[in-house]
Structure 1
Amino acid sequence: MAGYVDGYWWSNDNLRLHYRDYPGGGDGRPPILCIPGLTRNARDFADVAERLSGDWRVICIDLRGRGESAYARDAMSYVPLTYVQDVERLFEDLKVTSYVAFGTSLGGIVTMLLGSTGKEQIAGALFNDVGPVIEPAGSARIRGYVGKGGSWPTWLHAARSLAEMQGAVYPHYQLTDWLAMAKRLYRLTSNGRIVNDYDLKIAEPFHLPGSDAGIDLWPALAPFRTVPSLIVRGGLSDVLGEGTLERMATTLPQAETVTIDRIGHTPTLSEPEAVAAIDRLLARVLAA
């Protein structure tokens, strides 16, 4: 039996969005909101949620266009500010006034923007391999694969394809690891083919003129200066640079930084170092 219930909410533009709701202990702790990366979905946090649930309520969302959430009619809504609005609607529905955010990659950017709105109290945050600056090499690599179609006849074929594409990110992975990742990233269609579990149109905003410029996200870290935070970096990351990590640590007095060796973008948060750091973060949240 699944340790979660499926929940749904509606966006401002009338999309039905999905989340997994893992129960907590009912002792008044703020829920943990897990926000996945660009091409990921709620399944990415299954191990984390299963480990923490019972003590913590864990809400793992599918951003619009991913997993069980509806695909947007307007591809230009696949941008962080819209994701923030979607999450704020979820908070309204669930009457969430305080929360701990776990944001992986894009999810970390959404976390920064959520904190800067000030509409709900941020009790703690985990930034998984992401910061206010995205390294050009990582940005180029992501642009090279996001939105590209593909299908495979079996999970084994999908896993091997994933290994060819991401082998440098997880150099120690075995076939069983790639199979597990494939089942988090892909879905089985009604015609028996395995495909990406996201709307390929999420890539369209990347092609807009000036999309490389981005915005200055350093000011968005200001609300996190006074709350416990954790920054996890893959030692091989091409997205979160060491210089950015050092500046984040200086900017956020209550931040702990942890680097996971032999991992690129992104750590799964199931690594022993990440598990221990998450427990320390949550202990600090409770003590705050």
Structure 2
Amino acid sequence: MLTHAHLDRTILTVEGARPFKWTARDGLSLSAHLWGNRSEGCYPVLCLPGLTRNSRDFYRLACRLHAAGHHVIAMDYRGRGLSGYADDPTTYNMAQEAQDIEDGLSALGIERYVVLGTSRGGLHGVGLAATQPDRVRAVILNDIGPELAHDHLKVISETIGRHMTASSWPQAAARLKAQQQKTFTAMTEQDWLDAAAQTYEETAEGVRLSYDPNLRHAVKDAVLPTPQAMWSFFDALKGKPHLLIRGANSPLLSEKTANAMQERHPEMDLHTVAFEGHAPLLWGTAVQERILRFLQTVNEETAAPASADKATPQ
């Protein structure tokens, strides 16, 4: 039981960010959070979360990037966070999410940008780089690559949509700790409660995971591409600045695969986060400074005229 930690409601409420809504082509309401405004010489940073995650995962990083002058957009996929739940769970797929992301960018008037994607969000980042190479200036991948541990993928698929509720915030934090403490080995009681604030939400029925449990049906029916196809997919990043962040204890992305990615893409930067698994939380000073240096390099290499985009909606 977590006895000395206190819920950080700034994470839960995404304090300091502006909410933004747009409508998917099937009428579903979709949501994002925005930090700051676009400025001359600085590309917007599009943050895309993992499979069951939401824009709160980027709260601390976005605050740091905003303080450094960056405009940050963190999106919730359909069925996650503050976005609406779909009547048809088969729409919880990569193709539909990609269309939703594109429609959100269009609604915001964003033409060129950097993608920071955690896990599934990284796959979307690679997809955007492949289909819109002139618009995606650079990509940051958070613990995702072309070869993934199938045993851990099986664990993920078997746990999605199960045990959705907790009796209290301390219980939610304790559950996360029980599930992940073997790979996140330096977390304090407060850290686990802060992680719960990113993952769970308060509802009339109590504390529950912040996604539609029907997401499990889409994951169960998903067909994984072959490793050869995945390597070819990741080649869309060749010649484009990209940074791979990997958890040192990641059960999904091995050190061997990360090194193979760098050998295949010599221009790829690699940053390993000690004491963390899948996916790194992006809370630490070292990883945030690494991301800031990468973004500075990207912005210095090519001017990013804010006048090319529309004004950011307020």
- The TM-score, its normalising length taken from structure 1, stands at 0.93
Counting only pairs closer than 5 Å after superposition, residues 1-288 of structure 1 correspond to structure 2 as 2-24=15-37, 26-54=39-67, 55-118=69-132, 121-191=135-205, 193-208=206-221, 211-213=223-225, 216-288=229-301
User: What is the alpha-carbon distance in structure 1 between the residues aligned to residue 220 and residue 47 of structure 2?
Assistant: 27
RMSD: 1.8
Q: Could you report, residue by residue, the CA deviation over 1:155-212 in whole angstroms, capped at 9, with x for unpaired residues?
A: 1111111111121131221211111111110011113x1111100111112222x724
Query: Given the superposition, is the C-alpha separation of residues 213 and 125 from structure 1 closer, same or farther in structure 2, using an over 3 Å criterion?
Result: closer
Q: Note the C-alpha offset of 1:146.
A: 1.2
Contact in 1 for aligned 2:41/2:299 (Cα 8 Å): no
Structure of greater relative contact order (alpha carbons < 8 Å, 6+ residues apart): 2
Q: Could you report, residue by residue, the CA deviation over 1:61-101 in whole angstroms, capped at 9, with x for unpaired residues?
A: 11110010001121111111211111111121112111000
Extract structure 1 runs of 4+ deviating beyond 4 A.
212-215
User: What is the alpha-carbon distance in structure 1 between the residues aligned to residue 273 and residue 39 of structure 2?
Assistant: 33
Matched residue SS, 1:217: helix
Matched residue SS, 1:8: strand
AA aligned to 2:242 is S
- The TM-score, its normalising length taken from structure 2, stands at 0.86
User: What is the alpha-carbon distance in structure 1 between the residues aligned to residue 212 and residue 164 of structure 2?
Assistant: 12
Contact in 1 for aligned 2:126/2:139 (Cα 8 Å): no
Q: Note the C-alpha offset of 1:121.
A: 1.3
User: What is the alpha-carbon distance in structure 2 between the residues aligned to residue 258 and residue 12 of structure 1?
Assistant: 38
Matched residue SS, 1:48: helix
Contact in 1 for aligned 2:65/2:292 (Cα 8 Å): no
Matched residue SS, 2:183: coil
Query: Given the superposition, is the C-alpha separation of residues 170 and 61 from structure 1 closer, same or farther in structure 2, using an over 3 Å criterion?
Result: same
Aligned length: 286
Q: Note the C-alpha offset of 1:141.
A: 2.0
User: What is the alpha-carbon distance in structure 2 between the residues aligned to residue 261 and residue 205 of structure 1?
Assistant: 32
Query: Given the superposition, is the C-alpha separation of residues 83 and 203 from structure 1 closer, same or farther in structure 2, using an over 3 Å criterion?
Result: same
Q: Percent identity, please.
A: 30
AA aligned to 1:131 is G
Contact in 2 for aligned 1:205/1:211 (Cα 8 Å): no
Q: Note the C-alpha offset of 1:273.
A: 2.8
User: What is the alpha-carbon distance in structure 2 between the residues aligned to residue 28 and residue 286 of structure 1?
Assistant: 6
Matched residue SS, 2:214: helix
Matched residue SS, 1:21: strand
User: What is the alpha-carbon distance in structure 1 between the residues aligned to residue 112 and residue 264 of structure 2?
Assistant: 23
Moved more, 32-41 or 271-280: 271-280
AA aligned to 1:92 is S
User: What is the alpha-carbon distance in structure 2 between the residues aligned to residue 213 and residue 108 of structure 1?
Assistant: 16
Query: Given the superposition, is the C-alpha separation of residues 133 and 57 from structure 1 closer, same or farther in structure 2, using an over 3 Å criterion?
Result: same
Gaps of 5+ in 2: 1-9, 302-314
User: What is the alpha-carbon distance in structure 2 between the residues aligned to residue 96 and residue 252 of structure 1?
Assistant: 28
Matched residue SS, 2:21: strand
Contact in 2 for aligned 1:23/1:58 (Cα 8 Å): yes
User: What is the alpha-carbon distance in structure 1 between the residues aligned to residue 202 and residue 163 of structure 2?
Assistant: 14
User: What is the alpha-carbon distance in structure 1 between the residues aligned to residue 104 and residue 230 of structure 2?
Assistant: 24
Q: Note the C-alpha offset of 1:213.
A: 4.9
Query: Given the superposition, is the C-alpha separation of residues 213 and 253 from structure 1 closer, same or farther in structure 2, using an over 3 Å criterion?
Result: closer
Contact in 1 for aligned 2:38/2:44 (Cα 8 Å): no
AA aligned to 2:150 is P
Matched residue SS, 2:238: helix
Q: Note the C-alpha offset of 1:105.
A: 0.6
Q: Note the C-alpha offset of 1:223.
A: 3.4
